[in-house]
Amino acid sequence: MRAYKPKGNVQAKPYYTDRYWQAPQVAKFDVESDEVFAADLAAIKAKFEVSDAFIQVEQMTVWINPSDIYGVLELMKDELEYTQLSEMSAIDFLEQRDEFEIFYQMLSMNKRKRIRIKFSIKNGQAVDSVSNLFRCADWSEREMFDMFGIEANGHPFMKRILMPYDWQGYPLLKTYPLEGDEFAAWYEVDKIYGKEARDVIGPEIRDTARIDRYDSERFARLGHEVPFGMDPDKEENKDKAQSYQEDGGVFLIKKLDKESSVVIDDPQR
């Protein structure tokens, strides 16, 4: 039986962590320590429910209810002079508590202050679109949908933006492996050549730095490279070796002499 590996988070993990190690925290400060932030928070609190607020690395974070997001951003834009939405996206906490954290990074140029509005939504829940308030949210929400599968209610054009239109899966989820899933491995083969070519071409290896160390057939046969799928040891293929060097040679680069290069047959040598 194969060993069980948790699938909730397949991203890279450190190979060793001290069992007594406790992660330190970035210092959080009270909102009252900054006058401008305190006034802004009071204005938000007057109309909406705020579950938590603190200052971290010179910026205020305000936790609100998911349903209030449009109202809060409208208030901030119209009354509190936060005229720009710098950035918004999601953070995947599905493995820990089946939730996404959504953040909206706001900037006030008059006050020279930045506020981060945050809330959590359950898996499968949608957020309210703010693209009526800030046009840039149009593209940000599309990107969030593309990467996490979180839809925005009331968005004019909820389509993928970075990945192909017919892509399956959401790449920034923690459950999605870095090198892509089964769909990704066959996407281009299926689309360009058709499913029946799968046997001939094989799945796409998306890790370009990958070296198959057991492949003693094609790897490191300088001067004797053959096209993919061709057996280099067969007699009729001997003269079909590909050459990657210009005939005349290149300045400063030594021309490879094929006769003097050796093919090592025994990898265990």
Q: Does 134 bind another protein (CB under 8 A)?
A: yes
Separation between Cα atoms, residue 53 and residue 123, nearest integer Å: 24
Both tokens assigned to 256: 């490879």
Separation between Cα atoms, residue 154 and residue 190, nearest integer Å: 34
Site string for another protein, 49-88 (x = CB under 8 A): -------xx-x-x---------------------xxxxx-
Q: Which of 147, 150, 152, 226 binds another protein (CB under 8 A)?
A: 147
Separation between Cα atoms, residue 245 and residue 225, nearest integer Å: 12
* Residue 44 CA: distances (Å) to CA of 40, 52, 63, 90: 6, 12, 11, 22
Nearest residue to 224 via CA among 206, 207, 242: 242
User: Which residues 242-261 are close enough to bind another protein by CB under 8 A?
Assistant: none
Residues 50 and 68: beta-carbon distance below 8 Å: no
Q: Which of 124, 164, 202, 249 binds another protein (CB under 8 A)?
A: 164
Residues 6+ away with beta carbon under 8 Å from 21:
none
Question: Which of 32-40, 41-49, 185-193, 239-247 is the region at the interface with another protein (rule: CB under 8 A)?
Answer: 185-193
In the complex, least distance from residue 237 CB atom to another protein, rounded to whole angstroms: 14
Question: Which of 188-196, 215-223, 233-241, 252-260 is the region at the interface with another protein (rule: CB under 8 A)?
Answer: 188-196
Q: Does 262 bind another protein (CB under 8 A)?
A: no
Q: Is the dihedral of CA 64, 68, 70, 75 positive or negative?
A: negative
Separation between Cα atoms, residue 98 and residue 92, nearest integer Å: 9
Element (H, E) at 39: helix 35-47
Q: Does 26 bind another protein (CB under 8 A)?
A: yes
Total interface residues for another protein by CB under 8 A: 56
Question: Which of 22-30, 33-41, 236-244, 259-267 is the region at the interface with another protein (rule: CB under 8 A)?
Answer: 22-30
Q: Does 14 bind another protein (CB under 8 A)?
A: yes
Q: Does 136 bind another protein (CB under 8 A)?
A: yes
> Checking phi first, is residue 149 left (phi over 0); if not, alpha (psi -120 to 50) or beta?
left
User: Which residues 83-122 are close enough to bind another protein by CB under 8 A?
Assistant: 83-87, 89, 91-92, 103, 105, 107, 109, 112, 114, 116
Q: Which of 200, 205, 263, 264 binds another protein (CB under 8 A)?
A: 200
Is 168 or 261 the residue whose CB approaches another protein more closely?
168
Residues 186 and 180: beta-carbon distance below 8 Å: no
Residues that bind another protein (CB under 8 A): 11-16, 23-26, 28, 56-57, 59, 61, 83-87, 89, 91-92, 103, 105, 107, 109, 112, 114, 116, 134-136, 138-139, 147, 159-166, 171-172, 174, 176, 178, 191-194, 197, 200, 229
